[in-house]
């Protein structure tokens, strides 16, 4: 399948693996890229330019296909060394960067100067248009269903994607709630040039996370995510567990007086314990409603091949309907 996104990134299939904290290591990025999609290493999980450079080198040892690096801009008391991370990306010969969070304008000149394509992840049409205006090459339009940070507008993809298609001139991919061939065809129907998946790629053989995380996703239904940190305007969609229920109790108790310090135990520094050690009740971890559509743990190759097979079958079915 050829789309503006496969052409722009030099990939075989219009499928991207979004950056994921403590999931997007070289093993997963390489597996997705080897399967013909675009794998993405999560820059901030590495933290320092040296470690990111090392992770990029590891990924290059595992694949000769294009892969990307995610740079997430979050409010932080001690901001990461973004210029250093950008230098590691450029020196590492990476060709695609997925930015997310705040406006990525600060890193665009360096990235664009090095010929790197930038896809910015946005949760609104407003932010997508801004990304287009500042010179991003593409956007990833992340609906309310998504795992992670859906923003504060709560517009689901059935509305958000066609709205983005009506307004944008640069190509975009759908993101949030995507799992299979149906998701891909629906995304194309809405005007996207491909799709981005997070949660679905965690439940794959190559995702270098604890088996408990994969089993939790397979066991979960579409009813098992919760929105946390709403009153801090830092909403995150996470898998429910004991820590998340406690977090929600604290949020209810504190109301508008909630401060980050009140929930630090449930949200700060919990990712390594959950993702690497499988301590599933340790805290809040991002997960999409799409968990309800995930029932197995295939290899990335099996997953992507299946998605493309399903997509072709849907196209054939639609064509037959038209011919009938």
Q: Give me the residues that bind ligand FMN (CB under 6 A), please.
A: 18-21, 23, 42, 70, 72, 100, 121, 142, 145-148, 175-178, 196-200, 285-288, 290
The distance of closest approach from Cβ of residue 146 to ligand FMN in the complex, given in angstroms and rounded to an integer, is: 3
115 token code pair: 């010929």
Least separation in angstroms between residue 163's CB and ligand FMN is: 18
For ligand FMN, which is the closer residue by CB, 18 or 171? 18
In this complex, which beta carbon is closest to ligand FMN, that of residue 128 or of residue 286? 286
Rounded least distance, CB 26 to ligand FMN, Å? 15
Cα of 80 vs its chain's centroid, Å: 20
Query: Least Å distance between CB 149 and ligand FMN?
Result: 7
Q: 125-132 — which CB contacts under 8 Å span 24+ positions?
A: 125/160, 125/163, 125/164, 125/167, 125/168, 127/151, 128/164, 128/167, 128/168, 128/172, 129/167, 129/168, 130/103, 131/104, 132/168, 132/169, 132/170
85 vs 178 by CB, closer to ligand FMN = 178
The kind and range of the H/E element at 270 are none
Both structure tokens of 229: 């940190």
Q: How far is the CB of 317 from ligand FMN (least distance, A)?
A: 25
In the complex with ligand FMN, the residue whose CB is nearer, 64 or 281, is 281
Distance separating alpha carbons of residues 161 and 154, to the nearest angstrom: 13
Output 6 or 70, the one with its CB closest to ligand FMN: 70
């Amino acid at each position: 399948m050829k789309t503006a996104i496969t052409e722009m990134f030099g990939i075989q299939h219009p499928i991207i693996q979004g950056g994921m904290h403590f999931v997007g290591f070289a093993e997963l990025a390489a597996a997705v890229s080897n399967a013909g999609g675009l794998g993405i290493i999560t820059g901030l999980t590495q933290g320092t330019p040296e470690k990111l450079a090392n992770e990029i080198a590891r990924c290059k040892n595992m694949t000769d296909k294009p892969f990307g690096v995610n740079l997430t801009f979050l409010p932080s008391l001690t901001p990461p060394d973004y210029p250093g991370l950008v230098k590691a990306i450029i020196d590492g010969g990476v060709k695609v960067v997925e930015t997310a969070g705040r406006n990525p304008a600060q890193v665009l000149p360096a990235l664009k100067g090095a010929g790197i394509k930038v896809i910015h992840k946005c949760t609104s049409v407003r932010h997508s248009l801004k990304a287009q205006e500042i010179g991003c090459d593409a956007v990833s339009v992340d609906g309310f269903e998504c795992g992670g940070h859906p923003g504060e507008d709560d517009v689901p993809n059935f509305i958000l994607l066609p709205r983005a298609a009506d307004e944008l001139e640069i190509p975009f991919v759908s993101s949030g709630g995507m799992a299979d061939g149906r998701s891909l065809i629906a995304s194309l129907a809405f005007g996207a040039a491909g799709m981005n998946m997070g949660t679905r790629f965690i439940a794959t053989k190559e995702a270098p996370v604890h088996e408990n995380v994969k089993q939790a996703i397979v066991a979960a239904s579409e009813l098992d995510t919760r929105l946390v940190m709403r009153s801090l305007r830092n909403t995150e969609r996470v898998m429910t567990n004991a820590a998340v229920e406690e977090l929600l109790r604290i949020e209810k108790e504190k109301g508008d007086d909630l401060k980050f310090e009140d929930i630090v135990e449930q949200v700060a520094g919990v990712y390594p314990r959950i993702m690497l050690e499988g301590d599933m009740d340790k805290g809040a971890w991002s997960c999409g409603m799409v968990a309800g559509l995930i029932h197995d743990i295939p290899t990335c190759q099996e997953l992507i091949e299946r998605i493309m097979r399903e997509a072709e079958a849907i196209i054939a079915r639609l064509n037959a309907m038209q011919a009938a």
